[in-house]
Structure formats: structure tokens, C-alpha cells
Amino acid sequence: MTGYDVVVVGAGPAGLAAAAGAARAGCLVVVLDAAARPGGQFWRHRPGADGTGHHDWRTFTRLREQLGRVTYRADAAVWFVEADTIAGEPGFAVHTRAGTVYGRRLVVATGAHDRVVPFPGWDLPGVVTAGGAQALLKGQGVSFASRVVVAGTGPFLLPVATGLAAAGSVVVAVCEANDPLGYARQLRPVAGAAGKLAEAGRYGWRMLRHRVPYRRRTVVVAAHGTDRLTGVTLASVDAGGAVLAGTESELECDGLAVGFGFTPQVELGLALGCATRLDGDGSLVLTVDAAQATSVPGVYAAGEVTGVGGAGLALVEGELAGAGVALSLGRPLPWSGRRHGRLLRTRRRLRRFASALHAVHPVPAGWPDWCADDTLICRCEDVPVGAVRQAVRELSVADARGAKLMTRAGMGWCQGRTCGYATACLTARAAGRALTGADLAGFATRPVAQPVTLGHLAAGG
């Protein structure tokens, strides 16, 4: 059985940086990724792309060139990881749709996916996630609709809106659920991220150039249409997300891109027993030490799985993870001690900035009140919000796992990736308590991390 020193799962910024660092230290590295091309969502691109419209493309080309020093396997979605013995030493068997790979160390850099909350009409054709809209822009060069509303919370709404406008769509409104004036209470961490401020300024200029209206403390409370989206109802909200009576208005549109942040993809870490924590944005993330090592020996994590913080932070954590696995294998530090110190300081600074973003852009606590009982919360299994409320009220369901078992929410094709966060929040709210990490783990724990065919399992995986 041939094994690698390091198996890196994910070819986004964190995974590529980890692989490059470990390879530079002399480790035998394999990178596994579900996509056809490296780069992750941040550097998603069409074949032959020259980097137009992408941030920090030069860094991507540098990291991509270093893939020549590692084994790179595209279209290799990892569906299961287990402890194994590699050449008489503890290691891991990593099962993918393209076969099984063995390694002495594992780096989980699986990124995150869009986080959404339900509202009446969110299941209409024409309503997509903000990340989905951007994926079409980056991967295909097309917009998903001609007249678009972008709504939710967080700075990610800005590149989505400006990207859609540049592609020819009319962006009729960007609706931010929170108040960006909240950054005035986060001056110190924001001042430490001057590059992010400049980036926000560039997006602001593009918004002005394309004449995109920006509405703060405004949410979409309903989407309208029969066979597809034709318009939305907007409303102003208070700091807790409660709708202010009499502020409702309607906009015509054929596209709605919604995003309330991101959900880290921690399935592999949970399957291996890695310790987790509830991050400032309400996400379940893997706990790591200064070297990006998790609580499970031999398992490291970097990027959004340790806390949503953007590509810059993911790159730094990836480099630190690459150095961490190299040192654990007795290899030298892949760069000078002075550079390592700078990476540690940069990570602290970017983590503080990420915490500031989470504080300014929380998911509005009052979102469940936007939903009628017949609003679907699980679109795969057609489970309405009222079924979850009833399960808590009449069936003594006390946690998200109980809600899942009693209502089938999260048991469909997406396995709770879309509805898990919302169902966990709704259950906790209906039960009169705060959301916990255990609530989220009930939806994120999947022994089979990705859909896989029975034929593949029968063939030995």
C-alpha cells in the first residue's frame, strides 16, 4: 500500500497554501478536490481564464504552479475518512469517488457553503444563494437573471451585486439586514485590516458607477410568483430583525440572490471526532491550536472550517498548517522563523477583523417571525416551518436532532446543508433557549460526507 505524508482535502486558498508549504518542506503531498479545477469558490474560473474579475489572481497562479510538486486529483470528492495504519504508523484512509488515498497526516480545508434562512417564496425558481449567483459569474461568465435583488447580510453581498451589474444585470437593490454603522464600534480591528477597507471602497465605487441602491436594515420578507419569481416584498427591521410595521414595499425582479454568511463544511472533522466550538457568527467550527492542529492527532484544519474569515485568512492558516504537518513529520520549517512569526501575527489580526465582521453582520435573531407556518424550511422533504414548531410544542422535541427525526427536515438530498442551520435555530427558539453547538452538529454529522452511489460502495469505494 502506497501512502503519502500528507493528504490535503480541498484545493481552495487554504488547501493550496497548505500543500505548497508541506511540499516545500520535503513532504510527499496529495491534494484532493471535488471540482474539475483548483481554486475553490474564491478562484473559481473557466478554462483558460486570465484572472479578469478575480481578486489576487497572482497568488493563485503562484500556488497553482506549485501543484507540479504535489499530486493533484480533481473530481475526487471525499465521502469518508477513517483512521488506518500506514507503513506501520498511524494514518488515515481517505475514500473518494475516484478511489482511496492513504496518508500519515490529514489537512481538512473543505471551505464553506452559503448560509440561508427561509422566508415565504424562497423556493421559487429565480431565488438563488449569493454564492450560487457568483459561481455562475465566475465559472460560466453569465448572470442568472436580468433584474436582480441581492439581500442578506455581510460584505459578500457587495462583490455579488457588482459582479451581476458588470455582467449586464440591473441590480435594483442591495438589502443589508444590519447597519454598517456598527463598524464604528469596531474601529481597532477594522483599522488593522487596511487592505479590506480599500477593497470595500472599490466595491462602493462600483456600486455608485452602476447606480445600485443600497438599503441598510432592510430584508426580503417574501418572494412572489407562480411558476417563477416576479417580485419581492421588502421591509425595514430593527436591530433584532423584527419587521417595522408599515415599512413594507414591493419591487419587481426576476432574480433574488440571498446570503446570510456561510456554513463551514466540518463533516470530515466531525466524523473523525475533532473538537468543535460555536464561532461568533453562530457557525460550528473545528478547534485548532497555533499549528492548526485539531484535537485528533494527525489531523489539521485551515480556512473556513476553523472560522469564516475570508481568503486572506485562509491563505495564512493554510501556510501554518503546511508548516505544522511538516514539523510533526520531522521535516524542517519551510521558511524562516521570522516569516513564521509574521504569519502568526497576521492570523491574529485577521481573526480579530473576522470577529468584527461577525459582530456587525449577525443573522437577524427575528427571522423566524418572517415565516408563516406553511413556509417551507426543508425544501428537499417539503417540511414546513409549522411542522418544526409543532414538534417542539406538542411532541416535546427539545433539540435539533429530535426535530430532524420527527419532521424529516434535513433528511433529503442536501442532507441538511441548506436547511440545517435554520432548523436548528428555529428549534432552539421554539424551545425557548439559545442555539448550541450540539444543535448544529446534529445536522453536520454525516458518516458519508458526500453523496455516493450504491454501485460505488459495492465496488469497494
pLDDT in tens, 356-406: 999 999 999 999 999 999 999 999 999 999 999 999 999 999 888 899 999
**Is 362 among the domain residues?**
no
Q: How do 29-32 and 71-73 pair as beta strands?
A: parallel
Res 53: pLDDT: 62
Largest CA distance in the chain: 70
Mean pLDDT of 157-171: 96
Alpha-carbon distance 217 to 127, whole Å?
A: 20
Structural domain ending residue among the three candidates 260, 287, 317: 260
Do 153 and 106 sit in the same domain of this protein?
no
Mean pLDDT of 443-459: 80
Res 38: pLDDT: 83
Cell of 282: 453562530
**Is 350 among the domain residues?**
no
Strand spans (E) along 57-158? 71-73, 78-86, 89-96, 99-108, 112-114, 127-129, 147-152
CATH number at 43 reads 3.50.50.60
Mean pLDDT of 320-337: 91
Mean pLDDT of 300-323: 96
Task: State the CB neighbour count (10 A cutoff) for residue 273.
Answer: 11
Do 201 and 133 sit in the same domain of this protein?
yes
If we measure between CA atoms, which residue out of 452, 325, 253, 364 comes closest to residue 28? Answer: 325
Q: What is the mean pLDDT of the chain?
A: 92
- Enumerate residues 6+ apart whose C-beta is below 8 A from 146: 168, 169, 170, 254, 255
Do 30 and 147 sit in the same domain of this protein?
no
Structural domain ending residue among the three candidates 260, 284, 309: 260
> If you compute the radius of gyration of the chain from its CA atoms, what whole number of angstroms results?
22
Res 68: pLDDT: 81
Res 49: pLDDT: 64
Cell of 173: 437593490
Res 57: pLDDT: 74
Res 107: pLDDT: 98
**Is 402 among the domain residues?**
yes
pLDDT at 5 over 90: yes
Do 29 and 150 sit in the same domain of this protein?
no
Residue 121 and residue 371 in contact, taking contact as beta carbons nearer than 8 Å? no
Do 89 and 123 sit in the same domain of this protein?
no
pLDDT at 116 over 70: yes
Burial (Cβ within 10 Å: 0-12, 13-18, ≥19) of residue 316: buried
Res 101: pLDDT: 94
**Is 359 among the domain residues?**
no
If we measure between CA atoms, which residue out of 318, 444, 461 comes closest to residue 9? Answer: 318
CATH number at 387 reads 1.10.10.1100
Please state the domain count of the chain.
3
Res 37: pLDDT: 87
If we measure between CA atoms, which residue out of 308, 290, 393 comes closest to residue 356? Answer: 308
pLDDT at 461 over 70: no
Res 125: pLDDT: 97
DSSP 8-class letter at 420: H
pLDDT, tens digit (0-9, with 9 covering 90-100), for 187-240? 888 888 878 888 888 989 999 999 999 999 999 999 999 999 999 999 999 999
Do 137 and 168 sit in the same domain of this protein?
yes
* Neighbouring-strand partners of residue 252: 231
Alpha-carbon distance 70 to 73, whole Å?
A: 10
**Is 426 among the domain residues?**
yes
Res 217: pLDDT: 98
Res 51: pLDDT: 62
Task: State the CB neighbour count (10 A cutoff) for residue 78.
Answer: 24
| Residue 303: C-alpha distances to residues 11, 113, 124, 220, 320 (Å) | 11, 13, 32, 30, 11
Lowest average pLDDT, out of 113-117, 148-152, 446-450, goes to: 446-450
Alpha-carbon distance 400 to 54, whole Å?
A: 39
- Give the amino acid at 427: T
Res 129: pLDDT: 97
Q: What percent of the chain has pLDDT over 70?
A: 97
Res 46: pLDDT: 73
Query: Residues 188-192: contacts with CB within 8 Å, 24+ apart?
Result: 188/352, 189/349, 189/352, 189/353, 189/355, 189/356, 190/353, 190/356, 192/349, 192/352, 192/353
Q: What percent of the chain has pLDDT over 90?
A: 74
Do 170 and 139 sit in the same domain of this protein?
yes
Do 312 and 252 sit in the same domain of this protein?
no
**Is 391 among the domain residues?**
yes
Do 243 and 286 sit in the same domain of this protein?
no
Phi, psi of 62 (to 5 degrees): -65, -45
Mean pLDDT of 105-127: 97
Model confidence at 442, in pLDDT bands (50, 70, 90)?
confident
Mean pLDDT of 315-332: 96
Cα 195 from chain centroid (whole Å)? 22
Structural domain ending residue among the three candidates 242, 260, 278: 260
Do 104 and 201 sit in the same domain of this protein?
no
Residue 402 structural domain: 371-444
Residue 265 and residue 115 in contact, taking contact as beta carbons nearer than 8 Å? no
Do 311 and 379 sit in the same domain of this protein?
no
Cell of 305: 472550517
Mean pLDDT of 84-91: 84
Cα 158 from chain centroid (whole Å)? 17
pLDDT, tens digit (0-9, with 9 covering 90-100), for 39-50? 778 878 777 666
Do 99 and 205 sit in the same domain of this protein?
no
Model confidence at 1, in pLDDT bands (50, 70, 90)?
low
Res 345: pLDDT: 94
**Is 385 among the domain residues?**
yes
- Give the amino acid at 384: P
* Neighbouring-strand partners of residue 235: 219
Res 87: pLDDT: 75
Lowest average pLDDT, out of 129-133, 324-328, 448-452, goes to: 448-452
Angle subtended at Cα 47 by Cα 265 and Cα 16, rounded to the nearest 5 degrees = 40
Alpha-carbon distance 108 to 8, whole Å?
A: 6
Residue 159 and residue 41 in contact, taking contact as beta carbons nearer than 8 Å? no
**Is 207 among the domain residues?**
yes
Res 161: pLDDT: 97
